[in-house]
Structure 1
Amino acid sequence: MSQSQNYPLLSVPTGKLQISESPSNNADTDGEAIFLSLVIPTYKERDNIKNVVKILSQVLDECISGRYELIVVDDDSPDRTWEVAQSLMEEYPQLRVMRRQQERGLSSAVIRGWQAARGNILGVIDGDLQHPPEVLTQLVTEIEQGADLALASRHIEGGGVSSWSIVRRFLSRGAQVLGLIILPSVLGRVSDPMSGYFMVRRNAIAGAILNPVGYKILLEVIGRGRVGAIAEVGYVFCERKEGESKVTWKQYVDYLHHLLKLRLSTGHLGTVSKFSQNMGFPIGRFLRFGLVGLSGVFVDMAVLYLLSDPTTLALPLTRSKIIAGEIAIFNNFLWNDAWTFADVSMQQQEWRQRLKRFLKFNVICLAGLVLNVLILNLVFNFILPNRYIANLIAIAVATIWNFWVNLKLSWRVTDVK
């Protein structure tokens, strides 16, 4: 029998990204209770993983020997990182390995690892040694002293970054400031909300349905969990010595997307969102539709200027407005198809189906324009003789009309051959 058969891989949990109240088996093979389950999400870390497991084991053996487990969750790396990790299981009995072949993403990898964990304290650390392992001892101490969440931070005393460029420092701080504006109740609780190095009590997040975007799972834990006391420990973020960096511009886009999702699904806005969903009106989708409509206003104005201004093409105003309006409609359709109603359009990607949606969108927008004019005149002549307030009311009604009818007619799930 091969070594791999002697030390099988963990089964990948399925279903909702939700942590159970208690692990099914809170003991290792020797019957000792597991205190900490530390997840190491990996992708193409073949050159790092052996050293990572060795160093983490040495550090944790000094403070909680026999009371921890390391869970490597690999996203089916082409360099077969999972296979290298599996080969280490004989030498490190506290090591468990999961190979995900159907899912991708660091945040969901962490949660899947936590779902398979046996400890009452759940942790995460990068698999590239950019998070100094010796800080684990301090995090464990903070948890043992009563913290619900122990976080390694780059932005308190003892923390920092080793050799980041000015641009990367600016983006990191800018992302933090933006987060404080959008979601102060979450980001205001910690100094380093973009950290991916922390421990949390199982009962602080158990039962919550997590829905992370991108790499920043800490936002999800604080935003959706029941996290009380938070402790922070300073650490210096190190540059990787082996493997490839995973940081790209997409991570910042995912971060912004995640902030907006949490803003819409938690607190007072979350309550409104849930109520609207129960009433059959998806407010999150409506807000995306509104943002797309705002972009259409800018497109319309820009094209109208280019076509009609005396200093440019100087075309007749009516002709320019018709062209500008149609280009704005086309802009809005593309964004709505790719973003607002992406879940539907992905199921119907044939060009005939897209053309059909576009034609419907045009007709509905034209009807919305007619409705806008009617409401404007009705409000101005019979209710409120203020043309600007009347226009705002007309725009609001037309926007709701455009969204609701497009939702029901243009972007609807139909049978796809």
Structure 2
Amino acid sequence: MNFNSLKSLLTVPTGSLQIPESPFINVDRTDKAIYFSLIIPTYKERDNIQNIIRILSQLLDEFIPGDYELIVVDDDSPDRTWEVAQSLTDKYPQLQVMRRQQERGLSSAVIRGWQAARGRILGVIDGDLQHPPEVLTQLLSGIQQGADLAVASRNIEGGGVSSWSVVRRFLSRGAQVLGLIILPSVLGRVSDPMSGYFMVRRSAIANVTLNPVGYKILLEVIGRGKVGEITEVGYVFCERKEGESKVTWKQYVEYIHHLVRLRLSTGRLGRVNQQMNFPIGRFLRFGLVGLSGVFVDMAILYLLSDPTTLALPLTRSKIIAGEIAIVNNFLWNDAWTFADVSMRQQEWRHRLKRFLKFNIICLAGLVLNVLVLNLVFNFLIPNRYIANLIAIAVATVWNFWVNLKLSWRVTDVK
């Protein structure tokens, strides 16, 4: 590819994932604000990109001629999808291409595209032709009739999936039910909250910092945006004709993570969190690490104290089990929960210093843990394992907050 064609690539926005209130206008070109910007996030879609650009251009040229743009946002695909898309720009003047080399992820790709967009209405469609392009006109009609958000849904009349397995159908429905339990105020507003095919008014999400996890950006739009009226249009999700599916178990884990984070950062809990300035994301990671420590703690406690094993005294067994769990938790927290700090202080003396602090703080927490364990076991619930879980929960809050303030912080400044 020559230098002149590279120059025409869109510049990748940087900074926070926030949509500007006014459309992006490049003063060096003859750009002007337009009605509709459609983002097509891609990764290894070389075999599909030409077809989808052709179909979308024909459809939108008839519906809103000259008043739209297509923006391909490619995550530096090894098959050079961005290069194929770039070669089409002469034939399709409404097409622009962005190549991201420093970031990855579907949700952030969509937001970066929206940041560079000129449209008053912002949309997203998959680049693999699994979203039928003809539904776009129905979604646009819904917006023109006053909706803030128009969603293509598989779960209303006219919608469905073409050939999903029983397992995939079960996982999809299960994810939706789980979402309704965790975040009913968001997922209860649409029939297909996992849809990746929708459009929204710029004004509904302008000046809001989005913080997506994984690929379900619709949750972020509804949860954080100022979305009033919502309309839905049924569509049948088609199996891809070219390329390979990118849906894995990891997407379901990210979906649950996203639900929990939205639940803790929006609504009443979100307002409390803002007032307390509490690092929810870091606490969730700390909690997951602590959960691994629970299994270690429980296993060692059983081996040491159960009457069928070593039958050691409960307090002594708890101290040994707790210390082993502390070592487990430190290793995971240093590598994951506080990795941003650890990476800046990687020398062994720094790591040893963090471990000693962590150990002292957690030993203090262990004293608290033992006290709570004995109080609950002797006076409230005469079950060693339930009492132990309650003691662990109390100590977790102590351990996180004090370690946040003392153990993982940058102390050496060059």
Q: Which residue of the partner structure matches residue 361 of structure 1? A: 358
1:174-253 equivalent positions in 2, closer than 5 A: 174-253=174-253
CA distance in 2, matches of 1:200, 1:46: 27
1:235-384 equivalent positions in 2, closer than 5 A: 235-277=235-277, 281-286=278-283, 288-290=285-287, 292-312=289-309, 314=310, 316-317=312-313, 320-350=317-347, 353-371=350-368
Identity of aligned residues (%): 82
- 1:229 maps to a residue whose letter is E
- Measured against aligned partners, the alpha-carbon deviations of 1:119-161 in whole angstroms (never above 9, x if no partner) come to 1000000000010111111111111111100000111111111
| Offset at residue 331 of structure 1 (A) | 3.2
Aligned positions, number: 405
- 2:321 maps to a residue whose letter is A
CA distance in 1, matches of 2:152, 2:128: 16
Is residue 115 of structure 2 the alignment partner of residue 115 of structure 1? Answer: yes
| Offset at residue 317 of structure 1 (A) | 3.8
CA distance in 1, matches of 2:36, 2:253: 32
Q: TM-score, normalised by structure 2?
A: 0.88
- 1:82 maps to a residue whose letter is W
CA distance in 1, matches of 2:291, 2:31: 61
**More moved, 365-374 vs 40-49:** 365-374
**More moved, 399-408 vs 214-223:** 399-408
SS at match of 1:73: strand
The answer to whether the Cα contact below 8 Å between 1:76 and 1:101 also exists between their aligned partners in 2 is yes
**More moved, 15-24 vs 81-90:** 15-24
| Offset at residue 34 of structure 1 (A) | 1.8
Q: Which residue of the partner structure matches residue 384 of structure 2? A: none
Q: Which residue of the partner structure matches residue 136 of structure 2? A: 136
The answer to whether the Cα contact below 8 Å between 1:26 and 1:34 also exists between their aligned partners in 2 is no
CA distance in 2, matches of 1:187, 1:4: 46
- Measured against aligned partners, the alpha-carbon deviations of 1:144-196 in whole angstroms (never above 9, x if no partner) come to 11110000011111111111111111111111111111111111100111111
The answer to whether the Cα contact below 8 Å between 1:264 and 1:284 also exists between their aligned partners in 2 is no
| Offset at residue 334 of structure 1 (A) | 3.6
| Offset at residue 332 of structure 1 (A) | 2.7
SS at match of 1:240: coil
SS at match of 1:209: coil
The 3 A distance-change label for structure 1 pair 116 and 32 is closer
The answer to whether the Cα contact below 8 Å between 2:49 and 2:128 also exists between their aligned partners in 1 is yes
The answer to whether the Cα contact below 8 Å between 1:7 and 1:86 also exists between their aligned partners in 2 is no
Q: Which residue of the partner structure matches residue 153 of structure 1? A: 153
- 1:99 maps to a residue whose letter is R
SS at match of 2:34: coil
| Offset at residue 266 of structure 1 (A) | 0.6
CA distance in 1, matches of 2:115, 2:305: 61
The answer to whether the Cα contact below 8 Å between 2:20 and 2:207 also exists between their aligned partners in 1 is yes
Is residue 15 of structure 2 the alignment partner of residue 15 of structure 1? Answer: yes
| Offset at residue 62 of structure 1 (A) | 2.1
- 1:83 maps to a residue whose letter is E
Q: CA RMSD in A?
A: 3.1
The answer to whether the Cα contact below 8 Å between 1:161 and 1:238 also exists between their aligned partners in 2 is yes
The 3 A distance-change label for structure 1 pair 304 and 117 is same
The answer to whether the Cα contact below 8 Å between 2:153 and 2:192 also exists between their aligned partners in 1 is yes
The answer to whether the Cα contact below 8 Å between 2:32 and 2:118 also exists between their aligned partners in 1 is no
The answer to whether the Cα contact below 8 Å between 2:187 and 2:193 also exists between their aligned partners in 1 is yes
1:156-167 equivalent positions in 2, closer than 5 A: 156-167=156-167
Q: Which residue of the partner structure matches residue 39 of structure 2? A: 39
Q: TM-score, normalised by structure 1?
A: 0.87
Q: Which residue of the partner structure matches residue 67 of structure 2? A: 67
| Offset at residue 405 of structure 1 (A) | 2.3
SS at match of 1:35: strand
The answer to whether the Cα contact below 8 Å between 1:26 and 1:119 also exists between their aligned partners in 2 is no
The answer to whether the Cα contact below 8 Å between 2:24 and 2:115 also exists between their aligned partners in 1 is no
| Offset at residue 364 of structure 1 (A) | 1.4
The 3 A distance-change label for structure 1 pair 177 and 352 is farther
CA distance in 1, matches of 2:106, 2:118: 20
The 3 A distance-change label for structure 1 pair 415 and 83 is farther
The 3 A distance-change label for structure 1 pair 356 and 203 is same
**More moved, 295-304 vs 155-164:** 295-304
- 1:207 maps to a residue whose letter is N
